[in-house]
Amino acid sequence: MAVFTGAGVAIVTPFKANGDVNYEKFGELIEDQIAGGTDAIIVCGTTGESSTLSHEEHLEVIRYCIDKVKGRIPVVAGTGSNCTETAVYLSTEAEKYGADALLLVTPYYNKATQNGLYKHYKTVADSVKIPCLIYNVPSRTGCNVAPETVVRLCTDVENIVGVKEASGNIAQIVKLMSLADGKVDLYSGNDDQIVPLLALGAKGVISVSSNVAPRQTHDICAKFFAGDIAGSCAEQLRMISLCNALFSEVNPIPVKMALNLMGKEVGSLRMPLTDMEEANTAKLKKTMEEYGIL
C-alpha cells in the first residue's frame, strides 16, 4: 500500500523575527492544511528549509508535526543528508517519534556513483522499519538517481517503496515506470507536472503549491483518480501560472512570500536565502489575485 495517494504538502517552516522556529504558526499551518484536504504532510523537506535547521531543530520540527497531526493524515519526515551516518541518525530518530514514512534526498555535493547511491539508500533504509521514499532532485543535488537504480532499490530493499521525482525529465520518468513492474510508487515533485505523472501511474504529488492552494492541488489528484481526467487537467492548466510564480525565485522564497501575503505570518528565510525581489513579489501577488487565493 502506498504511503499516501493524492496531494502531500511540502510544508514550510515558519520563523519568528529573531530566526527561531515559530511553533505556534507551524501548528496553525498544519491545521489549515488538514482542513484544506491535504492528503499528507511532508515535513523538513526543501520547502521546510531543512538545510539551515540544526539537527536539534530538525528533529524537534518533525516531532512537533507528528504530535500535532495525531495520525489524522500521514506525516513523511525529510531525513536525508549527504552524510550517510547523519541520514541514519535523523531517520532512526524520526521513526521513534512516529513518522509514517521518510523522504530521503539524494546525497548532495558528494556526487556519488550509482553504486554509491544504492549503498547509501540501502544503509539508511536498513536502519529503520518504516517506508522510505527516494527524493530525486538533481537540480539541487548535482546528482541524478538513474531509473535502473530506483528500480533496483525498490526491488532489493523491502521498505524502499518509491520515489519523489523532481528531475522534470519526463523521458527519464517514462523509462523508470517502464522498468518498475509495479514496484515503484511514483510521486511528482513538480507542481506543473502532476497530471502527466498521474497518467504514468503516479500515486500523487509532493507539492509546494499546496501550501497556498491545498484544496485545488488535492482536487487535481482526486478528480484524476475518480476518472474525471478532463476536470483534473483543467485544474492543472489553471494552476500553471501560480506554479510559475511560486518558482520565479528559488523555492521556498516565493511560497513564503505568498503565505505572508495571505496573512499567515510565516516570517522570513534563513540565510543564504533572502526575501523576494519587489518586482517578483508584485507579479506573485497579481497571479494569486487572478487565481483567487488573495
The residues annotated as belonging to the active site are 135, 164
CA distance linking residue 40 with residue 33, whole number of Å: 9
Strands 185-188 and 204-207, sheet pairing: parallel
> Could you give the residue ranges of the DSSP H alpha helices within the chain?
23-35, 55-69, 84-97, 114-126, 138-141, 147-156, 170-180, 194-199, 214-225, 229-246, 253-261, 278-291
Q: 152: which residues sit within 8 A by CB, 6+ positions away?
A: 118
How crowded is residue 124: how many other Cβ atoms within 10 Å of its Cβ?
26
Instruction: State the CB neighbour count (10 A cutoff) for residue 111.
Output: 14
* Contact predicate 58/69, CB 8 Å: no
Residue type, 204: G
